[in-house]
Amino acid sequence: RLCAPGRRTLYDYLRTHDLAHRQTGKLVVAVADNEVEGLARVRAAAAANGVESMRWLDADGLARQAPGVRGVAALHVPVSGILDSHAFALAMLAQAEAAGATFVWHHGASAIRGDADTVTVDCFDAGDGQPSTLRARRAVNCAGHGAPGLYRATAGFGARKGYRGGFAKGNYAAVGGGPPPEPLIYPVPQAHSLGVHTTVDLAGQVRLGPDLEWVERFDAYAVAPDYPERARAAAARYWPAVAQRRVRPDYAGVRPKLYHDGALLTDFVFEREPAEGAWRVLHCLGIESPGLTCALSIGALAAGRPERAGLDAGLAL
């Protein structure tokens, strides 16, 4: 509901603001016959969610589309792409400040309280811990890894649900020694992970990753020493030439996962408070990497302007 229209809106934004991006396309590859059924499920889910222009490729079609990529079938998604995410964030920051927004840097939020007509956010200075408060008619909790804790620390709107966060670390390895394959290459997804895929950034750097490693901290950024060789072995299933490439540790990221009453959820959660009528606090929970693709969709919904992001005018949070 959010990512496909969000991707179209994102491309428009990047073009309008002359921000670096490239429509690379993507291949999701079934390496073995027993993966074809899973690939078909990916196609069905993508079609149901509005992804356009997909093509199913057999082994011969895959060889023509991407020489050097091995598989028995593949799904070609030409509308996928890459962008300079930092430039995108800075452009939105500049727009927000130009519209009158004030950004308070180096501060955290510890609690949210609602009363008759005001939302109060308890804050603190990240350096010396000095407390402060912000008061507003509405508040949006989009605190990433901290969002579930801030949800639990919200008072004045009734009982809390059993949400808690989880930390899914993904290691990446950099690949050297030749041009990258085109387009982006993904294996058939695994449970709770897209598997080790092959991507390239705007500077031409090829990377393998991420894997899935459950960790206890959101800042567990050290790359596992054995990861480059593990990634090479995983990617060699669909890209045999990587076996001859140099690989080295690159970086790691930690994705925010979300549990509800002990069960791992697989999609974003938006909790409105109060649940009925006009919301005064909106909690954005479990927003991991697809949140970048649909950032403008989420913003349009939060603003009550779904049509601004190409969404159904009747869609609301």
Q: What angle do CA 188, 189, 195 make, to 5 degrees?
A: 100
User: Do 176 and 149 lie in a common domain?
Assistant: no
Digit-coded pLDDT (tens) for 196-249: 999 999 999 999 999 999 999 999 999 999 999 999 999 999 999 999 999 999
Kindly report the length of the chain.
317
In a shared domain, residues 211 and 149: no
- Residue 206 covered by a domain: yes
Q: Are residues 305 and 251 located together in one domain of the fold?
A: no
* pLDDT tens, position by position, 120-129: 999 999 999 9
Q: Give the span between the Cα atoms of 21 and 11, in whole angstroms.
A: 8
Nearest alpha-carbon partner for 174 in 241, 225, 228, 222: 228
251 lies in some domain: yes
36/173 same-domain check: yes
User: What is the domain-level CATH number for residue 45?
Assistant: 3.30.9.10
Reported as a single tens digit per residue, the pLDDT across 131-174 is 999 999 999 999 999 999 999 999 999 999 999 999 999 999 99
The 10s digit of each residue's pLDDT in 246-276 is: 999 999 999 999 999 999 999 999 999 998 8
Is 14 a member of any domain?
A: no
Please check whether residue 105 is in contact with residue 276, taking contact to mean a CB–CB distance below 8 angstroms. no
Q: 174 and 255: one domain?
A: yes
Q: Average pLDDT of 96-118?
A: 94
Q: Are residues 255 and 268 in the same domain?
A: no
Cβ partners under 8 Å of residue 284, min gap 6: 140, 141, 142, 147, 268, 270, 298
Average per-residue pLDDT in the chain? 94
Which one-letter DSSP state was computed for residue 152? H
Q: Are residues 188 and 239 in the same domain?
A: yes
7 within domain boundaries: no
Residues 245 and 277 in one domain: no
- CATH code at 113? 3.50.50.60
Do residues 49 and 3 touch, judged by C-beta distance below 8 A? yes
> Does residue 314 lie within any of the structural domains?
no
Comparing 71-80, 84-93, 175-184, 291-300, which segment has the lowest mean pLDDT? Answer: 175-184
Residue 316 belongs to some domain of the structure: no
Tokens of 243: 């076996």
Beta-carbon contacts of residue 65 (< 8 Å; ≥ 6 apart) = 27, 57, 74, 76
pLDDT score at 59? 98
Domain span holding position 289? 87-99+106-162+261-309
Q: Are residues 56 and 205 in the same domain?
A: yes
The answer on 170 and 137 residing in a single domain is no
Map residue 283 onto helix, strand or coil.
strand
Q: How many structural domains is the chain composed of? A: 2
| pLDDT range class, residue 192, cuts 50, 70, 90 | low
DSSP state of 190: B
Residues 70 and 117 in one domain: no
Residue 211 included in any domain: yes
219, 235, 260 - which closes a domain: 260
What is the Cα–Cα distance from 155 to 160, expressed in whole angstroms? 9
Residue 68 maps to a domain? yes
Helices (H) and strands (E) in the chain, counts: 8, 19
Examine the domain organization and report whether 135 and 267 are in the same domain. Answer: yes
